[in-house]
Amino acid sequence: MGSYRALHDGWTLTGAGHSVDASVPGCVHTDLLAAGVIDDPYLDDNELRQEWIGRTDWVYETTFDWRPDPLVPRADLVCDGLDTIAVLTLNGTEIGRTANMHRGYRFDVADRLVPGENTLRVAFTSARNHAEAERDRLGDRPNAYPEPFNFIRKMACSFGWDWGPTLITAGIWRPIGLHTWAGGRLARVRPLVTLTEDGDGRIELHVDVERASADPLVLTAAVAGVRVEHTLQPGEGTAVLVLDVPAPARWWPHSLGDQPLHPVDVALTTTGGTSLDEWHRRVGFRDACLDTTDGAFTLVVNDVPVFARGVNWIPDDALVTRITRTRLAERLGQAVEANVDTIRVWGGGLYESDEFYELCNELGLLVLQDFPFACAAYPEEEPHASEVAAEARENVVRLAPHPSLVAWTGNNENIWGWHDWDWQPALGDRTWGAGYYFDLLPGIVAELDPTRPYWPGSPWSGDHDTHPNEPSRGTMHIWDVWNRVDYSHYRDHRPRFVAEFGFQAPPAYATLRRAISDDPLTPESPGLAHHQKAADGNVKLRRGLDDHLPAPRDFDDWHFLTQVNQARAITLGVEHFRSLRPYCMGSVVWQLNDCWPVTSWSAIDGDGRRKPLWYALRRAYADRLLTVQPREHGPAVVAVNDGRTPWTGEIEVTRRALDGTILAEAVFPLDLPAHAATTVPLPPDLATPGDPSAEIVVASAGDTRSLWFPAEDKEINFPVPRYDAEVTAFDGGYDVTVTARTLLRDLTLLADRLDPGAVADRALVTLLPGETTTFRVRTDATRDADALTARPVLRCVNDVRPGKAPAP
């Protein structure tokens, strides 16, 4: 009896003297770009000339034909997402107002529709102007950026960030349509999925029904061959249907097992069997909790403590309506390929789409979800508090079916900001969000989804009497490394769980060349400078290089070495944190992805290309890690096993000259259970170099290897790199086989330097003399084989020779 009709066609957009065709779902920027009114804001510094868009009021309008059906008297306009301050009119009569990008709206329009042509108009007020007016009304509050994003319930990073453009969007950003119905509809279905102590599954389906009839209605629910039925008597609008499933296969993160998903079907019918409404989702049976004993912060899934091998997620495009399921599948697939098992959805972005969480379910990714508050003091006065409550209630229920979602977090860095960022004198007695994080949000989660834990903030120590970023308790963020000190200082921290730490590098060369027309291209050229949003970003990049690597001689050196340095910094941090297992049980790198082409902390750049960091993460996050770590009495080998089976064998350790000559060696037994780590101190003949600038320590266990250079690269007497290279074509690309005649440090094939679409399967490979590796390069382009084996495509750190000009 019910039906849904999308209203996505025939829209026009008007504002600031422009009138163009509009795409729905979409936004103002994409419509203006498609019409040729603006240039691509991601290219050069075009962003700077588009500030007027966010200052403009915009109107979307369409007409549609309507034919009433007397048997289906109810009609609702369903708006899944409006961005953000809008007034909706139908045939000249106001039907509703919105003020929140993070929630949906439903308006009864049965009495406003007319037979024949109907006109729907959605008028958007400038989000920036509205936020500034709220700031003036309520009084300013501290903010990490000079924009009033904390005074409007809109994606905060629309207003710019230290990795993102300022593109203050407006538009119908999620589907909009007419839902017609009779008798009743499923207003809300809230599944609580649990496991009993005996391993059986239970689903409590809390169902709310909106009625248009006094007749009895029938609810049925089914999963995995189990079916229950309940009759709603006249006047009754809620029910709880319990489905008990004997011994279901459990859902696991991909690092621990499989991801069985079970379709759940709910139907609302008349007593005669006429269908009124349906609801379908897939759920996974799993238990997830947080172990916070003695200050710990450990995700426990199906009774197994998980070391979170994580990355932070930001919206994958600043113009979020361009994000498709295909794009999400590619990006999340790249995370899984890098051995990531945990995604933290950062609080300056969004509650992501259902497709995002469905993909995480399928791929076995654990999701830590921030509520959308970040880096600012947020007002708790009305109407803000009511909007926050409405969006939280809607999204906690919407995301409840997804087994990938394992914890809610109240905000990003706001509690930390209140403690440490001089907010308190500026705030006085004004509200700043504490009521949300410590009262409203945990109350909503406890009421609507008690199956999942809630944590007030990231970072948060778990105790009001302990500093929120205290490393020995709860979660912490580490930003002194990027901002003030060398990345070796990651080892100064002994955290229980690191929810953010990161180091910058520019995007791939092909990404830069697509987005920036500077000639010549230099670190300080105007376009590249505009695509570096971090305060003193290039200064910090250079500081990081100066501490470790030879001085770059030209832009190609700078680009390659800064990418290598990013990978080295994060590798050092990840390996240090993993070596502290089980004291530390989480490493969540800032960040996986970018929302446009920019120099940033990402592993995958704004065009979807993998930076060297991605390859470093794949190695550092492997199930089995061997790492050499400084300890109180000298270097030690730490073996970490986050795999599902024991790791047995031998650890072979050698101290070698750079030409490969073995100076000392030893063999240690390895018998390591799953989900464990062990430390093997090295004896003096292995731990103490005779000449730090000319030696290396190599530790290996089967195919797993770790290298320890006792000196920084800039101090090492690296040989001039020599190698033999062979290029073999195959259908879809080339195999480039390199045999080292000298040590080659962090050998990398930058395939995009030849073909923007080319991808190499590995990077940052250090070869000892006589060793061989093969890079598989997938590309449709036909290239001279010699170009694949020379600068600037094939690079290693020791081809940057102090005082020597680069080879032509």
What is the average per-residue pLDDT within 712-723? Answer: 94
In three-state secondary structure terms, 31 is: helix
pLDDT tens, residue by residue, 674-699: 999 999 999 999 999 999 999 999 99
pLDDT tens, residue by residue, 660-679: 999 999 999 999 999 999 99
pLDDT at 804: 64
Q: Give the residue among 561, 532, 422, 489 at the shortest CA–CA distance from 143.
A: 422
What is the average per-residue pLDDT within 487-500? Answer: 97
pLDDT at 807: 60
pLDDT more than 70, % of the chain: 99
pLDDT tens, residue by residue, 425-446: 999 999 999 999 999 999 999 9
pLDDT tens, residue by residue, 302-331: 999 999 999 999 999 999 999 999 999 999
pLDDT more than 90, % of the chain: 97
pLDDT at 64 > cutoff 90: yes
Please state the φ and ψ torsions of residue 780, each to the nearest 5 degrees. Answer: -90, -10
How many Å apart are CA 703 and CA 334, to the nearest integer?
A: 23
Quick one: tokens of 534?
A: 């971090």
pLDDT at 82: 98
How many Å apart are CA 359 and CA 404, to the nearest integer?
A: 9
Q: Structural domains in the chain?
A: 3-179 (2.60.120.260), 183-283 (2.60.40.10), 296-620 (3.20.20.80), 624-715 (2.60.40.10), 723-799 (2.60.40.10)
pLDDT at 529: 96
CB 53 within 8 A of CB 32: yes
pLDDT tens, residue by residue, 719-740: 999 999 999 999 999 999 999 9
pLDDT at 781: 81
Buried b (16+ CB within 10 A) or exposed e, 220-239: ebbbbebeeebebeeeeeeb
Q: Give the residue among 357, 391, 353 at the shortest CA–CA distance from 372.
A: 391
CB 124 within 8 A of CB 60: yes
Q: Is the pTM of this model over 0.85?
A: yes
CB 321 within 8 A of CB 25: yes
pLDDT at 344 > cutoff 80: yes
pLDDT at 633: 87
How many Å apart are CA 56 and CA 360, to the nearest integer?
A: 37
Burial of 516 (0-12, 13-18, 19+ CB in 10 A): buried
Q: Which residue's structure tokens are 């002194």?
A: 480
Quick one: tokens of 696?
A: 């290396």
pLDDT at 808 > cutoff 70: no
> How many CA atoms lie within 13 Å of 374's alpha carbon, on the beta-carbon side?
24
Of the pLDDT bands very low, low, confident and very high (cuts 50, 70, 90), residue 806 is low
CA distances to 83, 320, 391 from 104, in Å: 10, 16, 8
pLDDT tens, residue by residue, 289-302: 999 999 999 999 99
Q: Which residues contact 269 (CB under 8 A, 6 or more apart)?
A: 217, 218, 220, 275, 276
The Cβ of residue 788 has, within 10 Å, a number of other Cβ atoms equal to 23
pLDDT at 786: 83
**Chain mean pLDDT for the chain:** 96
pLDDT at 1: 63
How many Å apart are CA 463 and CA 220, to the nearest integer?
A: 45
3-state helix, strand, coil in the chain (%, to 5): 25, 35, 40
Three-class HEC string of 326-387: HHHHHHHHHHHHCCCCEEEECCCCCCCCHHHHHHHHHHCCEEEEECCCECECCCCCCCHHHH
DSSP 400: T
What is the average per-residue pLDDT within 193-215? Answer: 95
Using CA of residue 522, residue 525, residue 530, residue 535, what is the dihedral sign?
positive
How many Å apart are CA 206 and CA 188, to the nearest integer?
A: 8
pLDDT at 803: 59
The CA-to-CA distance between both ends of the chain, in Å, stands at 73
CA distances to 144, 160, 203, 492, 627 from 503, in Å: 19, 19, 43, 16, 20
Residue length, the chain? Answer: 808
Quick one: tokens of 25?
A: 């779902």
What is the average per-residue pLDDT within 268-280? Answer: 96
